[in-house]
Structure 1
């Protein structure tokens, strides 16, 4: 984060991390202290307090159905990847998580304070590590006693809060039982250890509204000019702790500037809203940030520092077009070089972990590392390797069914002794629906055109009409309300009023180049059919590759670089930036032990696919081949259209992908691409045919080596690999 952005991030109370009431001085002044403490590679004990609140029966705020899923995601990750003892993880929740055999205590204000004191403050020693994770609503309250003005609204000092389950139980409607940042600081200050990670999947800006399938984790009533006030109990707790430390308010303000502990991770910055998002056709919900973070950490092949990890997480939000960029605060020279939780991973990367074995030998496993795109297709037919500590396969499990993030299967080969709770799994064969469809919902904004739109869409065999909760995209009209919402969210593309086109179901983001206004609804949908096919082609491609986050965990050692015309490579993990219409080259280097067939595909914001390699009409097998130990450069290409983010996806296979290349060759010939400065653009039928043939190639290659059930297409992950990078195309000056 640049120094300017860091100042902005801290000055506005909308930041998730405002809850902690931290300033940049908290971190910069403690560099030497952190350097000594963080050098400890093996903390003696690892303690965690997980708090999740769904507010299901609370009429005052929006329910958040994903907050307990967040705790489940964190618990399985901490236990099975980072080596936390389950006995050292304490949980407060308003619904029973799947990893507990009895209901937890409710996350009331009193219980949160008591748990922090009993399980963290009294137990953590100086060389221990501590994790506090909160998923729920955030808010703001007046902070009239504060002697610092780090956070103000309408020139009034405020403090960020987290909302316990009984936040509105007080008799005074303007007094809330929120837990203020001042109190959280006082709690963390009592810890003997400095290796503290505070993770907050909540937000403090905007209103508690919905956009499509999204629910935002903020209490809407907290955004009015008449801000709530904290309870007497909250203020008395703070006064008591200040007396114990013999501090007045001025001294306390100085303490907060000098003595912050550990790392604070926020799910969004001050301009954004933290999302409670639906996954798997609305079979479950989770915090968009927590799901992204935990899945990334399951897939991370080697330990990374915080700054390395956050570079890639920010890339991932660009890939997913999510308007929520996670942030963290910590000393950049020392602590940012440490791994998350201040703990190295204890086990190899994985896609899943075995939970239990039933009496009928059915195996239950937790699919915490599977991509969101793959999850929707992954119901049966997928095959998982059981791996040992040396990452060797010792058995195989074939998945027979799935319920949300729980997979169920049977042992099909290998040792029965290897099938035990805690054993790690990697997906080797991905089962995919051979005839995927685009799940689409029709918005009420179409009004009298809605019935005719349904009739027209039902004629498209590749489209399935579903409720918005199960949809990936929505067909609707750009109303004044949607236009205002788009401007508030600062979407890069905002159609004109009354135009009809596609929105994403999550967040109602308009899809570029899909909006039309002329003709009948039937004519508009006829014109949109090519856009719908492009969107479906992109979804199939993302399902095949599983690239919904920038894991950088390819199976093969093939590297893709973008070169300037001077031959300079743009390296690093940060997003690469080019002016629009820039001419560049791609260089593919095969450092693996075998020859590979490779394709590089650019995915634009409107779902148009452009093939950067092979990049000419000679889309033959030899053109796709990158021999072992060699590099291949593409011809010069224009790296893509108007300003915006472009995802560049590299796929590699040990077997030829003949059908896809033949389809690509037909596209090139049809488009008469004879000059060497063009990528091969595909959309509509063309893109659907090429990606459909790619899936057929991979299925055929898979079935040569292993038995796959007839009802799915199989993708052999040992023969196929993918990796991704993000390019930002900016307007020419």
Structure 2
């Protein structure tokens, strides 16, 4: 479509938005001027819509745009002038399509990099030309033109636009979904999907535009990353500490901050899925790509990463008196909320940033070791050095707003008697779980994940009193708090301990890989990781391509292959959660050789020498780990330290732990174990003496002395 005729077609809409044709042309010309810059250029069009006139407002789409902007600028080297954002009322259908043609279509050359992002509502519509199936569509800000005419951007239109770009470096991120469930959702849970309108007809200009695009030749094979992989899954927003964001966008951008360019996108999305699942959502991302040689093409080198060095964020401004404003988009989502004052971040040039305060994703820090010749600048990346966590972390339970007022009063009173529980109103503050009624039976209470999944074995009897329901849940809550505490140790991206763990099924001649995790901060280039993604990792990549939680069959024999590639001995603990309700642990017992001694086995430290590989549990207990039924979901946290887990083993020894044949079994005192674990990691830190200003009620964890890797799978 010619530029002038396109502008004539949308002139009335631009007028409503207060944009004259001359202003639009000037805007387009500004981007044309950048063509003289050396190739490859990097161009992005980012769309975020919170405010919809005819629909409930969303709250995280503008944050998504900010998350992507900071990532692209500081991690992938995009220029601010090459990133065009359309938000809220700016993001009409006409403006989105015009911006695509002007900002991308008119500028992109064969070596350029392109990123398109959309955060907002999605829906489905039935077209007259295709009455048998519903078509996926993005809902722009002016999506509802009248009671019967809708102004959607068809997913097919977007794909054709992406294919029209003459470069193979095209990536689209769609944080939306198309199916709106008819069942009631937990209050405070925002989903990015609107119900289809049975009588709706698509606006004629969109259909005309689609037909014109169909006549054009496809020039590229874009990579499309979607928030969901199942047509009936929903894309969710999550309320974090001080901000809301799309679950998928936050998890994706956070991982890309920390990772290195050798990782395939399938592997990257597996990490993203794991992060989303830890936040209580069974939302699996999806990958669409048309290239035949998919494994070679699908690396994040498709975005031409600006630096091989991973980071937790970047300096966004330098203030007076050695102060800096920081962007913390690379911190794991659960860690961010509790990232304490005096945490330390290190610039690649050696200066330290000491955290003084945090608001949402931004923070203020004091710069230490400043030298005039090497003064820090805005845009510099930083890496985590010391993590400070408060000792007084509670489990936060949100009360569903569909509860009656008297029910909320009774629940608040009852939870107050449990201890280490904070109660908030769903949707108003971040939470770990939601207490509410079953949608099918309003007279029964239960505990739900943030994604609305009922936690197993938390439902009471019909007509149960609220206080009784909370008292019944009381014994389970310390277990959930314990899991929260050990999940806060996760630092695969920032640890300086070079360790690697592979979850395997013992099968045939060689084990079959289920999941693999490796600290990436110790890899100076992509060479080591590229090597690890060849040969035996090919089977893992095939599993990753499904982009869903790996499933292990009942009766399978399992093992962890743990490699210590560092120059120091490391100690290992394995803790976990089964069905989000039962704590489990690996018990490193050794049976006494003296027949006259007590039969209860002794616990010992699990230590791995430098350069050695350990098979868990075989190398420790000489016993097999056989997966038993019935079906369940499992999360494991493998925690490594340069110092022994003395306090943790002491806590295990005082408990009446099961002395059975299975090396991985129930944990009877999980909260005590979690606190002892954090104390051991605190004791391993070598910087405690240097941080006298840090409050005594904090854990100080040094990335040089610990690593924590997360695994999740399901048994079925």
State the TM-score, normalizing by the size of structure 2.
Answer: 0.80
Which residue number in structure 1 is paired with residue 312 of structure 2? 351
Instruction: Label 1:577 to 1:203 Cα distance change in 2 as closer, same or farther (>3 A).
Output: closer
Equivalent of 2:676 in 688, 693, 701: 693
Equivalent of 2:75 in 81, 98, 121: 81
Which residue number in structure 2 is paired with residue 328 of structure 1? 287
Which residue number in structure 2 is paired with residue 14 of structure 1? none
* Equivalence map 1:661-680=2 (5 Å): 661-667=649-655, 670-671=656-657, 673-680=658-665
Which residue number in structure 2 is paired with residue 218 of structure 1? 193
Shift of 1:265: 2.0
Matched, 1:569 2:511: yes
Matched, 1:435 2:392: yes
- Count of aligned pairs: 621
Instruction: Label 1:645 to 1:675 Cα distance change in 2 as closer, same or farther (>3 A).
Output: closer
Which residue number in structure 1 is paired with residue 517 of structure 2? none
Equivalent of 1:114 in 86, 98, 113: 98
Matched, 1:556 2:498: yes
Contact 1:131-1:341 at 8 Å conserved across structures:
no
Partners of 2:403 and 2:173 lie apart in 1 by: 41
Shift of 1:259: 6.5
Partners of 2:326 and 2:102 lie apart in 1 by: 32
Cα offsets for 1:536-591 (capped at 9, x unmatched): 101111112257xxx69773224354453878533244465433355544443323
Instruction: Label 1:659 to 1:78 Cα distance change in 2 as closer, same or farther (>3 A).
Output: same
Which residue number in structure 2 is paired with residue 298 of structure 1? 257
Which residue number in structure 1 is paired with residue 437 of structure 2? 477
Partners of 1:214 and 1:49 lie apart in 2 by: 28
Instruction: Label 1:452 to 1:236 Cα distance change in 2 as closer, same or farther (>3 A).
Output: closer
Cα offsets for 1:266-288 (capped at 9, x unmatched): 2113433443422434x211111
* Equivalence map 1:166-205=2 (5 Å): 166-168=142-144, 170=145, 172-205=146-179
Contact 2:61-2:120 at 8 Å conserved across structures:
yes
Which residue number in structure 1 is paired with residue 209 of structure 2? 237
Matched, 1:127 2:87: no
Which residue number in structure 1 is paired with residue 8 of structure 2? none
Partners of 1:358 and 1:310 lie apart in 2 by: 37
Partners of 1:423 and 1:476 lie apart in 2 by: 45
* Equivalence map 1:313-324=2 (5 Å): 313-324=272-283
Which residue number in structure 2 is paired with residue 50 of structure 1? 46
Shift of 1:446: 5.9
Equivalent of 1:405 in 361, 372, 376: 361
Equivalent of 1:288 in 243, 247, 263: 247
Shift of 1:361: 3.4
Equivalent of 1:658 in 625, 643, 646: 646
Matched, 1:625 2:604: no
Which residue number in structure 2 is paired with residue 601 of structure 1? 575
Contact 2:276-2:282 at 8 Å conserved across structures:
yes
Contact 1:354-1:364 at 8 Å conserved across structures:
yes
Shift of 1:610: 1.4
Partners of 2:552 and 2:643 lie apart in 1 by: 34
Shift of 1:614: 2.6
Extract unaligned runs of 5+ from structure 1.
1-41, 95-104, 150-154, 246-251, 389-393, 484-496
Partners of 1:509 and 1:212 lie apart in 2 by: 13
What is the CA RMSD across the aligned residues, in angstroms? 2.9
Contact 1:585-1:634 at 8 Å conserved across structures:
no
Partners of 1:611 and 1:260 lie apart in 2 by: 49
Instruction: Label 1:503 to 1:321 Cα distance change in 2 as closer, same or farther (>3 A).
Output: closer
Matched, 1:163 2:139: yes
SS where residue 544 of structure 1 aligns? coil
Instruction: Label 1:241 to 1:264 Cα distance change in 2 as closer, same or farther (>3 A).
Output: closer
Instruction: Label 1:452 to 1:130 Cα distance change in 2 as closer, same or farther (>3 A).
Output: closer
Instruction: Label 1:328 to 1:553 Cα distance change in 2 as closer, same or farther (>3 A).
Output: farther
Contact 1:598-1:653 at 8 Å conserved across structures:
yes
Partners of 2:204 and 2:557 lie apart in 1 by: 64
Partners of 1:449 and 1:298 lie apart in 2 by: 43
* Equivalence map 1:376-415=2 (5 Å): 376-388=337-349, 394-413=350-369, 415=371
Partners of 2:677 and 2:253 lie apart in 1 by: 30
Contact 1:442-1:476 at 8 Å conserved across structures:
yes
Instruction: Label 1:567 to 1:619 Cα distance change in 2 as closer, same or farther (>3 A).
Output: farther
Matched, 1:729 2:715: yes
SS where residue 476 of structure 1 aligns? strand
SS where residue 535 of structure 1 aligns? helix
Cα offsets for 1:68-121 (capped at 9, x unmatched): 111111111111111222221111113xxxxxxxxxx81122222221121111
Cα offsets for 1:471-494 (capped at 9, x unmatched): 2222233241xx6xxxxxxxxxxx
Shift of 1:302: 4.1
Which residue number in structure 2 is paired with residue 503 of structure 1? 448
Partners of 1:583 and 1:190 lie apart in 2 by: 49
State the TM-score, normalizing by the size of structure 1.
Answer: 0.78
Shift of 1:161: 2.0
Partners of 1:628 and 1:313 lie apart in 2 by: 30
Which residue number in structure 1 is paired with residue 425 of structure 2? 467
Which residue number in structure 1 is paired with residue 60 of structure 2? 66
Which residue number in structure 1 is paired with residue 554 of structure 2? 580
Extract unaligned runs of 5+ from structure 2.
1-37, 514-536, 544-548, 591-599
Partners of 1:526 and 1:199 lie apart in 2 by: 44
Shift of 1:522: 4.2
Equivalent of 2:85 in 80, 84, 91: 91
Contact 2:47-2:119 at 8 Å conserved across structures:
yes
Instruction: Label 1:643 to 1:403 Cα distance change in 2 as closer, same or farther (>3 A).
Output: same
Contact 1:48-1:132 at 8 Å conserved across structures:
yes
Instruction: Label 1:522 to 1:354 Cα distance change in 2 as closer, same or farther (>3 A).
Output: same
Cα offsets for 1:124-168 (capped at 9, x unmatched): 1122222111111112334334xxx5xxxxx53543222221223
